[in-house]
Copies of this chain bind each other. A is one copy, B any other.
Amino acid sequence: LNIAVLAGDGIGPEVIEQALKVVNAIGKKYNHEINLTHALTGAVAIDATGNPYPDETHEVCMQADAVLFGAIGHPRFDNDPSAKVRPEQGLLAMRKKLGLYANIRPTLVFPSLLHKSPLRRELIENADFVCIRELTGGIYFGDKGRNETRDKAWDVCEYTKPEVDRIVRLAYEYAMKRRKKVCIVDKANVLETSRLWREVAQGIEKEYPEVETEYLFVDAAAMRIIQWPEGFDVMVTENMFGDILTDEASVISGSMGLMPSASIGTHTSVFEPIHGSYPQAAGKNIANPLGTVLSAAMMFEYAFKLMDEANEIKDIVNKSLAEGVVTVDIADGGKAFSTSEVGDWLA
């Protein structure tokens, strides 16, 4: 199993270290040869090479069966969004060059953490849905610019039928393995790109008669996520809407530090926790490694199709929660373990 490891910035290296302990332990137990190749990305890559996603890193990813990713971003770039070179550009370049067209984010609810949710318990107890976000198109990658006097700016949102087809199909395939419900989120009452999405989806819908399809405007979806999260099974949407809605959805579980994600690509796939670089905690050995560990579980499932290994990782995470071997963010007044202690325990 050839894994590219991109630890990145902030707490990235610390949480990745714990996930690798678990990956290696699983490799030993199930007799897999695990080959790890580390490479630079994010602010650390800018410092070392001037480029947040260096060609060398790209080569490492292209050679790998999967990429395990920590986080990128550094506060020194935060108040200067027009800085010429920024860590986020590395992320976007990676997505585009690896063809990471589908970002998959499960919204998982952990019973012992329900009280951490901002939502009332009865609304989320049975929430279990997946957001699938298109990740290489839309307004992120369209033409953008300024006029000569720089007092007018534009960004173009663009989609082609094959781009939409690919991801909507993935959503339906996903739903077939779950509760067979797809919710397509768009703004077809205003946007031409959304009308294209809806046209394509209405075609694919017919191929999956067993699946219940719903079309929801993005503003209504933003409300529904809070009002009735249990109503969703698989949600699929375009890049910008997905950016907003997946972050909104990640909050309702109350367990953001535990949330994994997978980005499925045409060349390889990337697995990363959703929590970001969390610079305030960097270097303190307090960050929650469980989101990264669960991302490694998704890697075994999606990239390696090794379900036993994936399930064993999920089980040990649940056990760490049940036994209170957790970091300070979820220790709830109980003993808080350090990042590395949790990693050691899991491994």
Which residues of A are in contact with B by a Cβ distance under 8 Å?
79, 81-82, 86, 88, 92, 118-120, 123, 139-140, 142, 144-146, 151-162, 187-196, 198-199, 215, 218-220, 222-223, 225-227, 240-241, 243-248, 250-252
Residues of B near A220 (CB, < 8 A) are 247
Closest to A163 in B: B152
Question: Which partner residue on chain B sits nearest A87 by CB separation?
Answer: B189
What separation, in Å, do the CA atoms of A142 and B155 have in the docked complex?
10
Q: Contacts A118-B120, A223-B250 hold; do A189 and B153 have CB atoms under 8 A apart?
A: no
Q: Which residues of B contact A227 (CB under 8 A)?
A: 118, 251
Q: A88-B189, A155-B193, A158-B152 are in contact. Are A247 and B223 (CB under 8 A)?
A: yes
Residue contacts A-B, CB under 8 angstroms, 21 given: A79-B215, A81-B188, A82-B199, A92-B190, A118-B120, A139-B190, A139-B191, A140-B190, A146-B196, A151-B196, A153-B192, A153-B196, A154-B156, A156-B156, A187-B243, A218-B244, A219-B246, A219-B247, A222-B222, A222-B244, A223-B250
Point out which of A155, A194, A251 has the most chain B C-beta atoms below 10 A from its C-beta. A155
Question: With contacts A151-B196, A219-B246 known, what are 15 further pairs, Cβ within 8 A?
Answer: A81-B198, A82-B188, A88-B190, A118-B120, A118-B123, A139-B139, A144-B192, A146-B192, A151-B161, A151-B162, A152-B158, A155-B193, A218-B243, A222-B222, A223-B248
User: Which one of B79, B81, B215, B222 contacts A248 once the chains associate, using CB atoms below 8 Å?
Assistant: B222
Give complex CA distance A160, B193 in Å.
23
Contact B219 A243 (CB under 8 A): yes
Complex alpha-carbon distance, A247 and B187, angstroms: 14
**Whole-angstrom distance between the Cβ of A303 and the nearest chain B Cβ:** 26
Shortest A246–chain B CB gap in Å is 8
Return A147 CB to nearest CB of chain B, in Å: 9
In Å, the complex CA distance between A92 and B189 comes to 11
Q: Tell me whether A81 and B194 are in contact in the complex, defined as CB-CB below 8 angstroms, given that A88-B189, A118-B120 are known contacts.
A: yes
Query: Taking CB as reference atom, which chain B residue is nearest A77?
Result: B189
List the B residue with the shortest CB-CB distance to A89.
B189
> Given the complex of chains A and B, what is the CA–CA distance between A251 and B240 in angstroms?
21
Judging by beta carbons under 8 Å apart, are A154 and B153 in contact?
A: no
Nearest Cβ on chain B to A167's Cβ, whole angstroms: 15
Whether B146 lies near A153 (C-beta < 8 A) is no
